[in-house]
Amino acid sequence: MPHPDGIARRFDDFVQRYAETPGCQVLLECLDAAAQRGLDREELLYELVDGATGDNYPTPERMLPYVERVLAHYLSEEICGGRVQPADLQLFATEGATAAMCYVFDSLAANELLSPGAKVAVMVPTFPPYVEIPALDRYRFDVIEIRATGRNPGGEPTWKYPPDELRKVADPSVQALFLVHPSNPPSVALSHETRETLVDIVRRHNPDLMMITDDVYGTFVEGFRSLAAELPENTLLVYSLSKHFGVTGWRLGVVALHRQNVFDKRLQRLPAQARARLGARYRILSREPDGLPFIDRMVADSRQVALNHTAGLSAPQQVQMALFALYALTDRGQRYKAQVRAICHRRMARLYQALGVEMPHIPLWTEYYTEVDVVALARRRYGDKFVEYLQAQYEPVDILFRLAESSGIVLLNGGGFHAPAWSVRVSLANLPDDAYDTVLRFMDKCPLLASCFYDP
């Protein structure tokens, strides 16, 4: 097992011997990035080396101390635009953003912050589980959809949220707001005007609103700023490194919550009977369970409370998470971010060029996904009567099944994301460049296949 005394000196000796190895240079840059942010180099090194061995449960259960500080700096700089102090964030490392979602819903229900029938708002289009989970029998929330119905003068969607839609959360009976930001699948971040409108509505009309924002695509937008930066006390931030680094299999997620937050305040305002029930639930964790913060309750709930001592993301995964985050904060990591954005932009341009359609100009677009409007494409090429025939004789998924059968490429129907039914979601991050040519050739062919049976 590693020994803390002299670990920095031993590391320096190691990197001197292997100075020409690219990995050593990257490690040095990562440690420099940490030191520039006030982290003790020797203590950080020991935590990383000890964590990599995986010989202990993560301690504290919520997150390793230096890994938490590293990720707090990353979220502050890359997701919150530097508007939130890292020291103000409490973090919980999770098995990807997927686990974070599960833990959030579970703890909101277990702590009676949302009861069956509670009114919640979801900004759509969105990742389907954010609509499907509230409908489960365990939750049975009353879901109000806030729709991105904005269109430009040419009638093309801009995926903006009109003020009338945003005003739905002004109703104090709406207790929570869920959003993916930037959105999935439109891949558009909230405009400055939209953020300002939402902030004003919440502060003036619904100051106790609990906001859960899933910001996994944030790094793909220049100048991105999370709602956690605009309404830090109201916002629980879910994040994963999987999209930025293409490492979904590592399961590297985190929940971030400001130390002063409405979740904790709402816990203290629960009726006496509810607080007594929750005190009994968490009594094995604290002599004063009533004062246990919401984020620590999430940790316990993730392991059925009784197994709290075994909670938390594995230490080796947390080490990998810290290395990714530190790398992102280096000059090398910033160049990588620019390269990733350029790849998505190049593929998007290639996609629309092959479609023969002008590439949309959407502000704050990640270009990670795009929604191809099959009806608009068919109308442009074959006319209105053909579109009527296509919609009468076929389902939107028919095109997707044929594509999968013929090429092995799987795309998703936009309707499943509460986007237009005849839209197709194309990911610009998951396939090699030439795969998009295959997709487009097939999409051209599908209407032709249908037209063989069409007699105008």
> Cα-atom radius of gyration of the chain, to the nearest Å?
24
pLDDT tens digits for 237-264?
999 999 999 999 999 999 999 999 999 9
**Token couple for 450:** 């249908």
Number of domains into which the chain is organized: 2
Mean pLDDT of the chain: 92
Is the domain of 296 the same as that of 181? yes
Least confident of 114-128, 143-157, 306-320, 422-436: 422-436
Max avg pLDDT among 337-346, 383-392, 399-408, 434-443: 337-346
Give the number of C-alpha atoms closer than 13 A to the C-alpha of residue 157, restricted to the C-beta side. 20
pLDDT at 453 over 50: no
Is the domain of 212 the same as that of 78? yes
**Rounded-to-integer distance, Cα 311 and Cα 300, Å:** 7
Q: Is residue 339 included in any domain, yes or no?
A: yes
Q: With bands split at pLDDT 50, 70 and 90, how would you rate the model's confidence at 353?
A: confident
Is the domain of 343 the same as that of 394? yes
> What average pLDDT does this structure show over 150-178?
93
pLDDT at 446 over 70: no
Q: With bands split at pLDDT 50, 70 and 90, how would you rate the model's confidence at 445?
A: low
> What average pLDDT does this structure show over 72-99?
98
Q: Is residue 413 included in any domain, yes or no?
A: yes
pLDDT of residue 382: 81
**Token couple for 371:** 């929604």
Pairing of strands 423-427, 369-373: antiparallel
The domain boundary residue, chosen from 268, 289, 307:
307
CB neighbour list of residue 325: distance below 8 Å, 6 or more residues apart:
70, 71, 73, 74, 241
User: Which domain covers residue 407, as residue numbers?
Assistant: 333-451
| Strands lying side by side in the sheet with 210-214 | 89-95, 252-258, 235-240, 210-214, 174-180, 119-124, 142-147
> What average pLDDT does this structure show over 163-172?
98
pLDDT at 439 over 80: no
Residue 187 is part of a domain; what is its CATH number?
3.40.640.10
Is the domain of 226 the same as that of 352? no
Q: With bands split at pLDDT 50, 70 and 90, how would you rate the model's confidence at 383?
A: confident
pLDDT at 442 over 80: no
> What average pLDDT does this structure show over 148-162?
88
pLDDT at 43 over 90: yes
Is the domain of 237 the same as that of 384? no
- C-beta of residue 452 within 8 angstroms of C-beta of residue 382: no
Residue 408 is part of a domain; what is its CATH number?
3.90.1150.10
> What average pLDDT does this structure show over 17-25?
89
> What average pLDDT does this structure show over 359-374?
88
Is the domain of 384 the same as that of 263? no
Q: Is residue 408 included in any domain, yes or no?
A: yes
pLDDT of residue 452: 43
Angle 315-329/41-53 helices, nearest 10 degrees? 140
pLDDT of residue 33: 98
Is the pLDDT higher at 431 or at 444? 431
Question: How much of the chain exceeds pLDDT 70, in percent?
Answer: 96
Give the number of C-alpha atoms closer than 13 A to the C-alpha of residue 340, restricted to the C-beta side. 21
Is the domain of 253 the same as that of 344? no
**Token couple for 378:** 């068919």
| Strands lying side by side in the sheet with 369-373 | 369-373, 423-427, 412-413
Q: Is residue 41 included in any domain, yes or no?
A: no
Q: With bands split at pLDDT 50, 70 and 90, how would you rate the model's confidence at 234?
A: very high
| pTM (two decimals) | 0.93
> What average pLDDT does this structure show over 91-95?
98
**Rounded-to-integer distance, Cα 87 and Cα 96, Å:** 23
Q: With bands split at pLDDT 50, 70 and 90, how would you rate the model's confidence at 138?
A: very high
Which has the closest alpha carbon to 372: 395, 393, 392, 356? 356
pLDDT tens digits for 265-281?
999 999 999 999 999 99
